[in-house]
Amino acid sequence: EDEVHIIGSVLDLRDKPVSKVMTPIQDVFTLTMDDILDKETVDKILFHGYSRIPICAPEDQSNFFGMLLVKQLITYDVEDALPVRCFNLGILPETSPDTSCLDILNFFQEGKSHLALLSSNPGGVGGALGVITLEDVIEELIGEE
């Protein structure tokens, strides 16, 4: 019965747009290029607990440049108080909210990223609608409904 449920869920992924399972942008923990990684900000990052933090422009919070990978901070000294722009940001792939969950799963499986930005203007300026991670898709497959 569980097997049947999972197979049914896999088939459903083809027809389900990522917009249905994304985390909406207003709920996403982000930083700007100009934010200073001092103790206060790093404590905030640790408090939120996410591994990937999308980074936007200070003047336009719907315009994203990449993501800060929190594990980079293992060797970082908060006394240096550097702005986010001094870090090597990870690539933040962008796609349309109409992308199917199956397509995004295949993309994640290719191993380039485990988080993507959903945008009404993918590859262009602005238009951020939310983020989706591998976890969100897996949740659709095997999560409690």
Report the interface residues with ligand ATP, using CB under 6 A: 23, 27-29, 50-53, 114, 131, 133, 135-136
Specify the residue, 7 or 20, whose C-beta has the smaller distance to ligand ATP. Answer: 20
The Cα-based distances of 112 to 32, 37, 90, 101, 108 in angstroms read: 23, 26, 10, 16, 7
Shortest approach of ligand ATP to residue 40 CB, angstroms? 18
Characterize the bridge pairing of strands 115-119 and 94-95: parallel
Specify the residue, 50 or 64, whose C-beta has the smaller distance to ligand ATP. Answer: 50
Shortest approach of ligand ATP to residue 127 CB, angstroms? 18
Per-residue buried b or exposed e for 114-124, using 16+ beta carbons within 10 Å of the residue's own CB: ebbbbbeebee
Distance CA 19, CA 128 (A): 12
Shortest approach of ligand ATP to residue 11 CB, angstroms? 22
Specify the residue, 7 or 46, whose C-beta has the smaller distance to ligand ATP. Answer: 46
Residue nearest to ligand ATP as judged by C-beta position:
133
